[in-house]
Chain A
């Protein structure tokens, strides 16, 4: 059903399958009967006006909120109601709309933290500083440094994250999310606050990491250029409901979408 409106049928297996997802906040229906299926290797855009419920969907997928009803299946297993850390450990990583780095830790430590749940050594190894600790810590650090190199951040590895310029903080956040070794990456407005040149770089970066890490990506974005430029399929939300699905060109000409963004013409 996600492939209604005639977009090309994806060939991979379904990686994320959301059915009838609903979330109330008191009497407010923030997300209503939201459904979405994402297949292996896709890059899907989730757009909509402010307050449409996009970030709430992200928070539901990553477990920060529990659904009022509906189901979220990841790799065939239901993840609705799991703790956020369990969902991350199963392979969903995210970035945040307003960057959430660990401000007073170094860039390298920010990325190394993502390895914590698969660090490969226990607390006792760490306290005893035995061989297992030395080996795993070295390997983990090198892997984190590789990530930093990919994102051109190796020269700021010892800087505190809070001291970086905005664009680099965004990249650290994406690097950190990738370091947790996800199958599915959720990007919440990655281009927010970027200038056109930075946006161009970001789009290239997203395309690159997708190839490089064999990722499936779900993207929230306000900037139409980004969404239209890189997404294969787009889902449009308004007032907590899906109002349209389709390819970028279909969405651009969809009347309900234009109405949601620009308002209904007086006639």
Chain B
């Protein structure tokens, strides 16, 4: 049984990585229809593996499904962190905080909807993120006219703007909700909003809003803090994670959210995450990330990592560039959090403690800084190996034995850093994530041996 399990687990790990490779390859295909068909097939294979049975066991059982879902959310969070740390060079420990923020925000919306049968949380969050986003964009345009505005003054204006937007959102959201709520109907006669379809829509809206919410918070936090150097920035983001965690622990006492139940953990979140939504959101994050990296903005992001002074001299607004990266990275974390909350159905502040916050960092470093493929592969491999294989295997040795995995994997990490400091995959990218090759131009003046002499080339372009 143990040997069979070991073999099965290894096959699963290899199969999942193979699946990822295939997905990325087919997404790189030139034809749009092949791409779409490939993505549907990739979705279908996993979906089929959930329901198909070998003997009395499905190929991927509920435990595997849990690993897969967690691996996907980890991939979103870690891709965001890789953008901030691996591509932009800003060492951040705050990613887990934004993940938690997204998880709680999304969970609260659907919790209120499903259990309290009120849309107030949804509309407050929805109106809030839209208003705050509009305020930030407008203020940014307005403030760009003033040179040398101290960053703290700008920050104060943004903060006031966002607080005002939030206040308006609370009033407006509750007003809208009071109009809409009768549509829930009574328990005996369920109304329009009590159906499953409505709940699904609310779920997607909640996840999206949670992502944007995390992004906006990261904007406010990053604006003053990103002017620090990378190391100091890391410490500041660690502080952010701790603040968020403290707020979670006390969410029912110092924050007006009794439903979150503070340190006891938030229970009763509707479990709405299906493989379909996990797949869609993961694809969304991968595509956005890849399109961003292989664009002019992506090159600017990497240039900041390489040499800030040179990148300023190339006309790149380094401060804005860092802020943009941080905001997008946090957006991914927030989306991941929303997905996670609705898979697990239970949010405990312990999950978002700052120690657990090192997990995405480990995944990113393990897979390779600045490698999207590495992050994806490491997320899946890490989750299946550590939480799947090792936990079960060690579990057979004794009830407390699984704790040994926290000894084993740091050692593995140590060895990796010694033997392959650039990470498992280095800078390798698979298929879709590879930079589009640029054909060398046919030289207008082709003396091939003249390379060493930068003679005043007479050739016009």
Residues of A whose CB lies within 8 Å of any CB of B are 62-64, 81-85, 88-89, 93-94, 96, 100-105, 108-109, 112-117, 119, 121, 123, 126-129, 133, 137, 140-142, 145-146, 149-152, 154-155, 157-158, 167, 171, 176-177, 180, 201-202, 204-205, 207-208
Contact = CB atoms under 8 A, between A and B. Distances in A.
Given A102-B307, A152-B450, A88 B314 contact: yes
Contacts of B454: 151-152, 167, 171, 201-202, 204-205
B443 A84 contact: no
B297 A116 contact: yes
B1 interface: no
A101 B457 contact: no
B312 A100 contact: no
B72 to A, nearest CB: 20
A100 B441 CA distance: 26
B300 interface: yes
Interface of B: 147-148, 288, 291-292, 295-300, 302-303, 306-307, 309-318, 324, 438, 440-441, 443-445, 450-457, 459, 461
Contact of A113 (B300, B443, B461): B300
Contacts of A149: 441, 443-445, 457, 459, 461
Nearest to A205: B454
A117 B315 contact: yes
A64 B318 CA distance: 13
Contact of B315 (A85, A128, A208): A85
A102 B89 CA distance: 13
A133 B454 CA distance: 33
B303 A113 contact: yes
Contact of B318 (A85, A96, A113): A85
A162 B238 CA distance: 33
B443 A154 contact: yes
Contact of A207 (B288, B299, B445, B456): B456
Contacts of B310: 96, 100-102
Contacts of B316: 85, 113, 116-117
**SS of A interface (majority):** helix
B313 A126 contact: no
A83 B296 contact: no
Contacts of A151: 454, 457
A137 B295 CA distance: 8
7 contacts: A84-B313, A93-B313, A117-B316, A126-B296, A127-B291, A146-B461, A150-B461
Among B288, B306, B461, which residue has the most Cβ atoms of chain A within 10 A? B306
A85 B317 contact: yes
Contacts of B317: 83, 85
A129 B296 CA distance: 12
Nearest to A110: B303
A116 B306 contact: no
